[in-house]
Amino acid sequence: MSAHGQSTSSSQKNHSTPASRRALSSFLLLLAAATGLEAGGHNATADAGIPIKITNSCPATIWPALATQEGRGPTTHGFELAPKSSRELSVSQDWQGRVWARTNCSFNADGTAASDGGRQACDTGDCDGVLDCLVTGNPPATLFEIALQSGANKTNSFYDISLVDGYNLPLSLTHLPDPRLPIPPNLTNPSCIATPPFSSALSENANATYPTPRTQTQDLTRWCPFPLLLQPPAKPGGGAFPLPDDHIPRPPFSPCLSPCAATGSDSDCCTGSHSTASTCSPGLYSHNAKRVCPDAYSFAYDDGKSTFSIPSGGGWEVTFCPEGPSSDILGTFGEELGVVAGGVVTEEVWRVAREGKKGGVEGIAAAGGKGGREGSLGALVVVVCVWVLFW
């Protein structure tokens, strides 16, 4: 482990390096930066007890990373993880932070960047070229963000999957329920899978009794606007037989930059004169991201349709490269989540989670992410506003 004394406020550092490709972090961390929270940093001594399990279902090695915003972080903020393996960490009950994965890394034995003088060790998600991260990662990276004890009375966990810093790998979340307050798993476990399948295995966070609402099967090879591809594919025949860019075949692993990371403009980053919800609007990237991952943040002010809030408790598993279509939970169960956020999981919530809104999976599939979204928004917006006020 390296340089544990020097934990910095990662998002502040992040925002003060305009020349780098680091983008605006998503709303959760912006809030924290605005309120001047210091990163909790690396504290290797204590086991605080909330499990964070990280699983690699990708066919390749990945290098998961964490950033601690508040509370006591895990004993490591970055490590190598072989395919089909997991690592269990634990954080304090008031932890706030994010988890992402780095790809295509090359480190020296001491955990620094392998290339001489190089500050970058990984193609995506790199954190200044060190294995054990002290800062947040470079875009593009799919993020899991969580504040374990938040809201007015610090009673709720607020969490999201964010594509605000771009997309590198599919990610799913599995809440490991607190036995004192079980919650139907198809309300708590979102997934964002915007990559064509790497294999044909079944979804890791699937539960046959409480199936997660899913998006319709769709083409996942073209949602990233061509100019945002981190590694744009070569034009076939050296460009001699021109295809529209969007029709050039892309590999399954095809990281997508956020517009902010690509252009750095205020309108793409929701900064400057575009720094409020009414002056920052979603562009093509956000629209496409929302289509492939309806439960994920697609731009900084996407809160009502992207933030989950459940009573604090239990632990979390973060799986990279889960299979199956993305979830569409907030659009389906927003109303029920509003009830759960209030601290009670009623019989009615269990019934709806079991039987679906219209008494079956077909009803849900037919609703296709429309039904419930509007109704649900109110509850979530209230929750988010309360949260914003008290951060």
Ligand X SMILES: *[C@@H]1O[C@H](CO)[C@@H](O)[C@H](O)[C@H]1NC(C)=O
Q: Which residues bind ligand X (CB under 6 A)?
A: 41, 43, 45-46, 58, 60, 62, 72, 103-104, 152-153, 177, 182, 185-186, 207, 209-211, 213, 253, 332, 353-356, 361, 364, 386
CB of 41 to ligand X, least distance (A): 6
CB of 323 to ligand X, least distance (A): 15
CB of 280 to ligand X, least distance (A): 27
CB of 84 to ligand X, least distance (A): 13
In the numeric block, which tokens belong to residue 38? Answer: 């210091």
Residue nearer to ligand X on the CB measure, 304 or 314: 314
State the DSSP string of 14-82: HHT-TTSS-----HHHHHHHHTTPPP-----S----EEEEEEE-SSS-BEEEEEEEES---S-SB--B-
CA distance 288 to 188: 23
* C-beta neighbour count of 370 within 10 angstroms: 11
Please name every residue paired with 12 in a beta bridge, in sequence order, or none if there are none. Answer: none
Residue nearer to ligand X on the CB measure, 326 or 332: 332
Residue nearer to ligand X on the CB measure, 34 or 60: 60
CB of 216 to ligand X, least distance (A): 13
CB of 27 to ligand X, least distance (A): 20
In the numeric block, which tokens belong to residue 105? Answer: 């890394």
**Beta strand 171-176 pairing with 85-91:** unpaired
Q: How far is CA 200 from CA 215, 318, 319, 320, 321, in A?
A: 17, 19, 16, 15, 11
CB proximity list for 34: less than 8 A, separation 6 or greater: none
CB proximity list for 347: less than 8 A, separation 6 or greater: none
Residue nearer to ligand X on the CB measure, 62 or 131: 62
CB of 7 to ligand X, least distance (A): 8
Q: How far is CA 19 from CA 50, 232, 262, 263, 341, in A?
A: 37, 22, 11, 11, 40
CB of 363 to ligand X, least distance (A): 8
Closest CA to 309 of 341, 345, 349: 341
Q: Is 268 helix (H, G, I), strand (E, B) or coil?
A: helix
CB of 186 to ligand X, least distance (A): 4
In the numeric block, which tokens belong to residue 209? Answer: 């009794």
Cβ–Cβ < 8 Å for 156, 167: no
* C-beta neighbour count of 357 within 10 angstroms: 18
Residue nearer to ligand X on the CB measure, 195 or 258: 195
Strands (E), 74-127: 85-91, 96-102
Quick one: which H or E segment has residue 148? strand 143-150
Residue nearer to ligand X on the CB measure, 248 or 386: 386
Closest CA to 301 of 5, 10, 28, 22: 28
